[in-house]
Structure 1
Amino acid sequence: MGLSFLLAIGVSTKASAAVPDISEWQGQLTSTQVSSLKSQTSFVINRVQYGSGYEDIYHKSNENLYVKYGVPFGSYDYSTFTSTSSAVTDAKNFYARSNKNTKFYVLDFETTSMNSSTANAAVKAWYTEMRKLTSKKLIFYSYQSFATTYANTARQSFDAQWIANYSYRPTVSFSLWQYSSNYYLSALNQYVDNNLFDSASVSNYHPLSWWLNTSTAKKTYAYSSYKTGQYAYVYSKASMYYDRSKVPSSAKQKMYKITAVKSVTKSNSKQLVYLSGLNQWVLSQDVGGYWGQGQKGTFTLNYNANVYSNAALSTKSGRTLAKGAKVTGTVVKYGKLYRVKLDGGGYITAAVQETNFTPAPKVYAYSSYKAGQYAYVYSKASMYYDRSKVPSSAKQKMYKITAVKSVTKSDSKQLLYLAGLNQWVLSQDVGGYWGLGQSGTFTLKYNANVYSNAALSTKSGRTLAKGAKVSGTVVQYGKLYRIKLTTGGYITAAVQETNH
């Protein structure tokens, strides 16, 4: 393909039967070479033109030999169009020049001077013109970041995506993977680009029979191991629910929670997923599964992966993760899809096919308050335990705790009864303090700085070690309480920080 790819380093994966792409750079092939290709390849993909203005000098000769020796082949157009009108011309010339024994047609779109909007329109124009000319499969080729930047909408119309990435498995949906530019093909005695289409390598598998328009290949199925609680993104290609009713456009390209699953063998699926909100059973082939937004924990990689510096997954950070690596992070939303925002920085896809997920242990708010202590009600507090609303007038004020009891609810393990409010409040909605005017000895639970002012904004330079005992008195600063130390300086009067 393009020069930028020829400079990349090939990965070690090796196909059992090659799928090379060939252009005039491989020269005019001989009968001996092509007859040998038959036993070494599943099919080849042959370049026909380098834009409308240049026809490959050997493509006709090579294609005639493919036909003679029974080597299946597809045809590709390295595009150079710069507008919708030139894209239409490009498609017409490509089709006219192509050998009609080709199994499929490919748009190779990997360089452009157009902006994203114009490029998408031009790619769609190429597709539309080709679809008028042929009923054979139309394949879109590019490398991932270019495809998502310049043809992210238009490429969805094609029958399959052919994505180049020489180091790691692509993270967009793909059916053919150009994984190497350095594959030795003994039939040609040359190093060539090679590609994979097997179910273990690609995310959207099509059998050899699909590529060659035959029906001899073993039936294969879409990913069908979804679980309740995961989320499903309904593809734009989805046409019918399991009950045979039509999937409306308004339901597509949206995310839904999977509330039930069941086994079924139908079409290219072995599973049905029930989607909350749609209230419909959907075939697994019509969705992509994701971990839920906001989920935190450990993600174990099912494949080698790039870490991206942006949630669009278009800019590689330079960091990579090996298959089996464990990383921690949180699922966040990007556009209509979900990503994993890594604690160590960067993003990876949140697709369930790509990772296994172990939720982080539940963390509860401090829940060891005692009667007689004081509670400062946070501004974020929204409801009392009886589900009535916490009014604004009750927030950011201090109240005496007159009773406590254990409960496990939300992020709390304790309820506090606050005098003055006369309400039970969850421990997550307050911060606890020693009472104003209390004095005596305070034992530090953690290392702490001593501050020279009650605002705790200016460090005195003095520090206290965990377990240190200091004497002082609880004083008020604004709406909160501090401990004024007998030896000078201030520390917080929060009960989480000291014993008294």
Structure 2
Amino acid sequence: MTLKFKKIAGLLMGALAAFTFATNASAAKTKIADVSQYQGSINWSKASKQLKFAIIRVQHGDTGDADFRIDTQKDINANGAYKYKVPFGQYGYAEFSSVADAKKEAKDFYKRSSSKARFYVLDNEHRKGKGSEQSYVNAWLAQMRKLTNKPLVYYSYQNYVNVHKINYSKFDGSWIANYSAKPNVSTDLWQYTSKGSLSGISGNVDLSKVVDSSTVNSWLKTSSADAAKPTYFTSLPSDKEVTASKNIYQYHDVNFKTRVSKITAGKKLSVKSITRSNGGAYRFQLTNGNYITANKAYVTD
């Protein structure tokens, strides 16, 4: 064998080895874990070698709840996942007790979440209010729709869904826990154990399995596509008119604390300026002085 042929053969073998290693590494990324401060300090370099994606806790309840806490590891985990190229979503454990409380909890959850999250999850498993649990879930969803175009996912456990007869069909997918068998309610992602193991974590971790790969994969789309099509109008239309594409409300203040009246879908509205709420969301100010959302999912020019 000539020296030149040996070199070529060596290069080919090296390329084949690299391809095999990359393929095996990719194939190893099969685990889906949800994590919080209870997993302690995660070695994301190690965890990334097994994770298809992660779901990271942001908060437990909200201000006013006796056991409210912001997850102490939320930013560390989000930054670690991002650094080691692990796609991730974020979840908030809900303790809302009214429609107004659900809306506030959604706003606070969104504000505390990482901008790098691919999707957001409502963790709905704690019944507090005396009203309709469905109305609280709907209010959380509607508020989040005003804040983001990223996928919104419903999480609970099988029995909770059945007992409270929760309809989560308007979410972009579902994630249901049941440890004895596959859930008997509709689910796209199945949390099947709380005693899983993952490299980089000492102790147990919740693990999930994909049920509907098409839906779950849609949660993981990169944010570059979202950046090409902004969620909000950031400037006034040339004719200073917008049309409500869905039923919306007008508010007396830019932070949407004082509701004035409902605006039905299809109504044309004259706007005089564009501004932002304290949380950074864009708003149109109407010629009558009131404010409406500038979210493109709700108004068109």
Q: TM-score normalised by the shorter chain: which range applies?
A: 0.5 to 0.7
Which of residues 71, 74, 95 is equivalent to 1:59? 74
Q: Which amino acid aligns with 2:209?
A: L
Q: Which has the higher contact order (CA 8 A, sep 6+)?
A: 2
3-state SS in 2 of match to 1:89: helix
| Cα shift at 1:88 | 0.5
**What's the counterpart of residue 52 of structure 2?**
42
RMSD of aligned alpha carbons = 1.9
Q: Which amino acid aligns with 1:19?
A: I
Q: Which amino acid aligns with 1:127?
A: L
**Residue 196 of structure 2 is aligned to residue 183 of structure 1:** yes
**What's the counterpart of residue 167 of structure 1?**
180
| Cα shift at 1:39 | 1.3
- CA deviations over 1:413-463 (Å, ceiling 9, x no partner): xxxxxxxxxxxxxxxxxxxxxxxxxxxxxxxxxxxxxxxxxxxxxxxxxxx
Q: Which amino acid aligns with 1:144?
A: Q
| Cα shift at 1:189 | 2.8
Kindly indicate whether the alpha-carbon contact (under 8 Å) linking 1:123 and 1:151 is maintained by their aligned counterparts in 2: no
**What's the counterpart of residue 18 of structure 1?**
31
Give the 3 Å change call, closer, same or farther, for CA 70–191 of structure 1 in structure 2. same
Distance 1:180 1:122 in 2: 28
Give the 3 Å change call, closer, same or farther, for CA 175–101 of structure 1 in structure 2. same
**What's the counterpart of residue 324 of structure 1?**
none
How high is the sequence identity, in percent, across the aligned residues? Answer: 41
Distance 2:215 2:146 in 1: 26
Distance 1:179 1:213 in 2: 24
3-state SS in 1 of match to 2:169: helix
Q: Which amino acid aligns with 2:145?
A: R
Q: Which runs of 5+ in 2 are unaligned?
A: 1-27, 64-68, 223-301
Distance 2:143 2:79 in 1: 26
| Cα shift at 1:184 | 1.1
3-state SS in 2 of match to 1:44: strand
| Cα shift at 1:178 | 0.3
Which of residues 144, 150, 155 is equivalent to 2:158? 144
Q: Which amino acid aligns with 1:120?
A: Q
Alignment of 1:160-309 (within 5 A): 160-197=173-210, 202=211, 204-206=212-214, 209-213=217-221
Distance 1:158 1:151 in 2: 15
Q: Which has the higher strand share?
A: 1
Is the radius of gyration larger for structure 1 or structure 2? 1
Kindly indicate whether the alpha-carbon contact (under 8 Å) linking 1:51 and 1:78 is maintained by their aligned counterparts in 2: yes
Kindly indicate whether the alpha-carbon contact (under 8 Å) linking 1:18 and 1:43 is maintained by their aligned counterparts in 2: yes
Give the 3 Å change call, closer, same or farther, for CA 28–151 of structure 1 in structure 2. farther
Distance 2:82 2:128 in 1: 37
Distance 2:157 2:34 in 1: 15
**What's the counterpart of residue 97 of structure 1?**
112
| Cα shift at 1:152 | 1.8
Alignment of 1:75-90 (within 5 A): 75-90=90-105
- CA deviations over 1:223-279 (Å, ceiling 9, x no partner): xxxxxxxxxxxxxxxxxxxxxxxxxxxxxxxxxxxxxxxxxxxxxxxxxxxxxxxxx
**What's the counterpart of residue 244 of structure 1?**
none
Kindly indicate whether the alpha-carbon contact (under 8 Å) linking 2:189 and 2:216 is maintained by their aligned counterparts in 1: no
Distance 2:52 2:186 in 1: 22
**What's the counterpart of residue 68 of structure 1?**
83
Distance 2:216 2:108 in 1: 28
3-state SS in 2 of match to 1:36: helix
Q: Which has the higher helix share?
A: 2
Length-normalised TM-score, structure 2: 0.60
| Cα shift at 1:147 | 1.4
